[in-house]
A = this chain, B = another copy of it.
Amino acid sequence: MLSHTYYHVFNTKKKREYINITGVVEKQLAESSVREGLVLISAMHITASIYVNDAERGIIEDIDEWLERLAPEGIDYKHHRTGEVNGDAHLKNLLLHHQVLVPVTGGCLDLGPWQQIYYAEFDGRRPKKIVIKIIGE
């Protein structure tokens, strides 16, 4: 069994931001030499998500508005008693989830034609980290 671990470290510029990381994952898959297996892409934060959907500007805006509607900012969350002000970012993380698992077939990410892998930031302007773990053979 082969395994390959990579930490993608980067800075986010905005509080909320949606970043296509499909290319980052593809590069690591090529380096892993895995032909058949699984790639886990997991945010190492509790205020960020990894999801799979369309690389289309409109739907990204829709996702952002929808998250804000279901898990809004500006509420007096109990978490804020700690001095934090990011209660909404925790709930947005739970709604979209912090991880995605992609099958690897013939050395490629086995995604549908419109499926792109995104990192969603909900409490940014800080260094952030994603773990990419590839296992297979």
Give me the interface of A with B, judged by CB distance under 8 Å.
Answer: 1, 3, 5, 36-38, 40, 42-46, 51-54, 56-59, 61-63, 66, 70-71, 77-82, 87, 90-91, 93-103, 105, 110-115, 129, 131, 133, 135-137
C-alpha spacing A108/B56, complex, angstroms: 38
Q: Is A46's CB under 8 angstroms from B115's CB?
A: yes
The residues of B that contact A87 with a CB separation of less than 8 Å are 58-59, 62
How many copies of this chain are found per oligomer?
3
With A78-B59, A114-B46: A136-B1 Cβ-Cβ less than 8 Å? yes
A41 to chain B, nearest CB (A): 10
A58 contact from B61, B77, B99, Cβ within 8 A:
B77
